[in-house]
Amino acid sequence: MPVTEIDIRVVPFDSAVAQKLIRAVLADLGARYGGEGDETPVDAAEFVPPHGMFLVAHLDGEPVGCGGWRSHGEDGDTAELKRMYTAPEARGRGVARAVLAAIERSAHEHGRKRMILECGDQQPEAIAMYSSAGYERIPNFGFYRDSPNCISFGRTL
């Protein structure tokens, strides 16, 4: 099977292509945890450079994955990873790792020194990917800090 290049593009968080993928990630999280999937307050303006960025990955011209970062805290050193997702038909092809690497590069280029994220205990594939990418457990933070299902990770960029 030929290797297909993953094309990653910066898009507005509130663009149609981003919103379609975000609806898919929320549906996936809802299936795993119930409810709306992720009720963390998110504003599209948080993903506008230099305070954040949102990326969409394409395979064969089709949008198949996404993720973004937004500034976290007052010091300007930390970025929070949000809305990481790969469509089921594209999983296992390196999309999530490519998006994660692009997000980390973008955050670092915008002066962030650390990336943090919240994940849930019903996402073993995500936990494995973050762990293998050098992320380590950190104290829970954010909207789900008190949830027994929350697992938070961080990594120096």
For 68-94, what is the mean pLDDT?
Answer: 94
Higher pLDDT, 39 or 31: 31
For 19-40, what is the mean pLDDT?
Answer: 89
Residues 32-77: pLDDT tens digits? 898 877 788 899 999 999 999 999 999 999 999 999 999 999 888 9
The average confidence (pLDDT) of the chain is 93
Using CA atoms, how far residue 11 sits from 53, 63, 86, in Å, is: 8, 11, 16
In the three-class reduction of DSSP (H, G, I as helix; E, B as strand; rest coil), residue 46 is classed as helix
Return the closest-CA partner of residue 80 out of 115, 119, 39. Answer: 115
Predicted pLDDT at 3 = 55
- The Cα–Cα gap between 97 and 90 comes to 12
Domain residue ranges in the chain: 6-111
Predicted pLDDT at 7 = 96
- CATH number for the segment(s) 6-111: 3.40.630.30
